[in-house]
Amino acid sequence: MCSLEKRGKVYILTFVGDDEENRFTPTTFDAVFDALKQVEQSPDAAALVTTNAGNYFSSGLHPEWIANNRFDMAVEKLEKMFAAFMRLSVPTVAAIRGHAVAGAFMLALAHDYRFMTQGSSELYMSEVDLGLPMPNSMMPTIGCKLQPAALRDVVLGGSKLNAQMALERGIVDGVFEDSEGTLEAAVKEAEKLAARGWEREIYRGFRMATFPGVVEALDTHVAYRVPASYKL
């Protein structure tokens, strides 16, 4: 699941899943939506940091949930979660303090800024290696944040990118030596953004205009079909 902490005008959303990989389940999604609702309804909220406990930001969808042909429901939940972050009326910063795989990588991309810890942490879009098609609704979320060469490497090449590689490709905005330093830097960035005192609806509108069509694509769910050849 996740926890929500308030530090002044900055909220910190932390994935603290039931397993070490912080995998997404229906419970996770409900907790995230509740947390974002609290942020949106807080009159003094001015920025959000999303981070993780443990060695994984998240490894994406929990395999037990997506078994028995429940992929479509899972994909729709992912779409709604990405759209909720893109619609948020405050600046968002992802503090990636572990591996971010598949849907978790996409979630990090749905944030305005991304910081990452050096070491064994990797960003990895695993779908091409698993033989799973990428939902058309999610491609704008990825494509609007990645340069063409990085997009090729991530989506077509299934590249596993460490923090330095992600920084060189412009995927993350800062790299830090340890987990604590990554979170501290993300919170400082969020506090700096919060101090600007931007009108929240204006900020939301500028994000939507900066990345046109992304939320609209996420809102247009098309039934997701898993290839018969795929084995969980």
**The pLDDT of residue 81:** 97
Residue 226 in any domain: the answer is: no
68 φ/ψ angles, rounded to the nearest 5 degrees: 60, 40
At residue 109, what is the residue type?
Answer: L
Angle 68-222-136 from CA coordinates, rounded to 5°: 105
**The pLDDT of residue 30:** 94
Residue 144 in any domain: the answer is: yes
Residue 146 in any domain: the answer is: yes
What is the layout of strands, in order, in the sheet containing 160-162? Answer: 56-58, 99-101, 122-124, 160-162
Distance of CA 134 to the CA centre of its chain: 16
Q: Over its length of 232 residues, how does the chain's per-residue pLDDT go in tens digits?
A: 799 999 999 999 999 976 789 999 889 999 999 999 999 999 999 999 999 998 999 998 888 777 755 888 889 999 999 999 999 999 999 999 999 999 999 999 999 999 999 987 899 999 999 888 899 999 999 999 999 999 999 999 999 999 999 999 999 999 999 999 999 999 999 999 999 999 999 999 999 999 999 999 999 999 888 777 776 6
HSE, side-chain direction, 13 A CA sphere, residue 188: 8
Residue 229 in any domain: the answer is: no
3-state DSSP assignment of residue 222 = coil
What are the residues whose beta carbons fall under 8 Å from the beta carbon of 122, sequence distance 6 or more?
99, 100, 101, 160, 161, 162
**The pLDDT of residue 223:** 87
Residue 102 in any domain: the answer is: yes
Residue 24 in any domain: the answer is: yes
3-state DSSP assignment of residue 216 = helix
Pairs from 38-46 (Cβ < 8 Å, separation ≥ 24) = 38/4, 38/11, 39/4, 39/11, 39/13, 39/88, 39/90, 40/88, 40/89, 42/6, 42/11, 44/9, 45/9, 45/11, 45/90, 46/9, 46/10, 46/90, 46/91, 46/193, 46/194, 46/195, 46/197, 46/198
CATH number of residue 9's parent domain: 3.90.226.10
Structural domains in the chain (count): 1
Residue 230 in any domain: the answer is: no
Other CB atoms within a 10 A radius of the CB of residue 69 amount to: 9
**The pLDDT of residue 62:** 87
**Residue 195 belongs to domain spanning:** 2-219
10 pairs with which residues across the strands?
7, 47
